Amino acid sequence: MIDLTEQQLTLRAYAHEWAVELAKHSFELERAPDLVHDLLDLPGMVFLARTPVPDEYDRDPILLDGHRYSGGSMERVTICEEFAAADAGMMLAAPGPSMSGVLVSQLGDKAQQEWFFTHVLERPTWTFFALTEPARGSDAAALETSLTPDGDRLLLNGAKRFIGNAARASSGVVFARVKPGPLGVVAVLVETRLPGFTATPLPTVGLRGNQVTDVRFDNMEITHDRILGAHLSPTRRGLLGAVRGLNKLRPGVAALGLGIARGAYEYVSAERRDLTSWERSQLDAMGRSIGAVRQLVRRAATAADADDPALGALASAAKSRASRLAEEVTLEALGFFGAGARLQHPMLDKYARDARAVEYMEGTRNIHHLNVFQALVQRKLAG
């Protein structure tokens, strides 16, 4: 059993309070994702916008009862579950360093880190992370966006799809190919104000706050100093280098699924008091499944914080199990309210729509099952 420390409990209590406050605006945000600009002064948004930033770049850190949020994986899954139990779309609409921050911390040199984090702390700033392409989702290593030399500069060309927050962002990390093969992919820091960048929000059913976007790069000029990890060996930069960072983030995505499931479960518990004995046993079973998946998510987070070699497989197991849980629990929860449930209980309808989107974020269940299977075959994970 993995329990929270006192520090993590403090963080959870704050995150809960902030998330409940933000969720009062959930449906407005769904209708008009730009509403997020009006919510930036709320404490939850302030926190998400400013964290996590490495100690050396944050001279005025947010302290919660004297504790400083480190952005470690156990802390991340704790806040992700709390925010998602209220509204995952709201959390994903927030400005902040987010996934790009993790990659810049991991792959960037000192100057790149200084530039990126100073910029993020100046004012609420959205960032984006662009890996997926229209024809390359699960098969991301075969991506086609190109970064080609042109005199003393580089030109970025190509298209990305389903990129969260890209239309609001001022900077982001883009994966692009400089030569064939897995070692031929680099990650570059991009500023959206520069010519050649276009971002068009896509209509979506779930997680609408995240505003996923089609992005195009048309002869966008990139300077050599914006390639992340140029000081590292080819196996430690680009997509291969990013895998470790993505594995560390994945328990957080799993926690979004967990939180959505918990939100739906708590909704039924609060709104349906007169349960039949069969319904009571069904609700209890939902609660037990949520508890079990929470332990798996925390196990993956603990592995991330300990740099455990089993992290990749554990993070895949947690993500795949949590996204399934979210879908199963939200649909079962709707079943407690009969045929009109989706119209009469819009919050439950929202949980069910958001749950489906979690299936795709950071890779689908099929791909994560393949990862777990490979780890079992290679004995990197105990059965």
Ligand X SMILES: Cc1cc2nc3c(=O)[nH]c(=O)nc-3n(C[C@H](O)[C@H](O)[C@H](O)COP(=O)(O)OP(=O)(O)OC[C@H]3O[C@@H](n4cnc5c(N)ncnc54)[C@H](O)[C@@H]3O)c2cc1C
3-state DSSP assignment of residue 198: strand
By CB under 6 A, tell whether 138 contacts ligand X.
Answer: yes
Closest CA to 168 of 92, 89, 95: 95
198-217 binders of ligand X (CB under 6 A)? 207, 210, 212
Closest CA to 79 of 90, 68, 91: 91
List phi, psi (to 5°) of 295: -65, -40
By CB under 6 A, tell whether 367 contacts ligand X.
Answer: yes
Closest CA to 298 of 308, 285, 286: 308
- Residue 337 or 360: the one with the smaller Cβ distance to ligand X is 360
Q: What is the DSSP string of 333-368?
A: HHHTT-TTHHHH-HHHHHHHHHHHHHHHTTS-HHHH
Query: What gap in Å lies between CA 205 and CA 44, rounded to an integer?
Result: 24
**Cβ-proximal residue to ligand X, closest one:** 137
By CB under 6 A, tell whether 132 contacts ligand X.
Answer: yes
Residues in the chain: 383
Largest CA-CA distance found in the chain, in angstroms, rounded: 74
Residues with Cβ within 8 Å of residue 274, at least 6 apart in sequence: none
**Rounded to 5°, angle at Cα 61 from 57 and 66:** 140
By CB under 6 A, tell whether 129 contacts ligand X.
Answer: yes
- Contact pick of 46, 49, 130, 268 for ligand X (by CB under 6 A): 130
Shortest distance, CB of residue 364 to ligand X, whole angstroms? 3
Shortest distance, CB of residue 76 to ligand X, whole angstroms? 16
Both tokens of residue 59? 């001279």
Interface with ligand X by CB under 6 A: which range of 245-253, 305-313, 323-331, 360-368? Answer: 360-368
- Contact pick of 230, 360, 374, 380 for ligand X (by CB under 6 A): 360
Shortest distance, CB of residue 3 to ligand X, whole angstroms? 31
- Residue 130 or 348: the one with the smaller Cβ distance to ligand X is 130
By CB under 6 A, tell whether 259 contacts ligand X.
Answer: no
3-state DSSP assignment of residue 11: helix
- Residue 194 or 205: the one with the smaller Cβ distance to ligand X is 205
By CB under 6 A, tell whether 310 contacts ligand X.
Answer: no
Query: At what angle are helices 311-335 and 238-271 packed, to 10 degrees?
Result: 30
By CB under 6 A, tell whether 162 contacts ligand X.
Answer: yes
Interface with ligand X by CB under 6 A: which range of 67-75, 115-123, 343-351, 358-366? Answer: 358-366
Both tokens of residue 163? 């990129």
Interface with ligand X by CB under 6 A: which range of 1-9, 61-69, 160-168, 249-257? Answer: 160-168
Closest CA to 256 of 128, 381, 164: 164
Shortest distance, CB of residue 87 to ligand X, whole angstroms? 14
Single-letter code of the amino acid located at 94: A
- Residue 170 or 364: the one with the smaller Cβ distance to ligand X is 364
Interface with ligand X by CB under 6 A: which range of 28-36, 59-67, 161-169, 303-311? Answer: 161-169
Q: Which residues bind ligand X (CB under 6 A)?
A: 129-132, 137-138, 162-164, 207, 210, 212, 357, 360-361, 363-364, 366-367
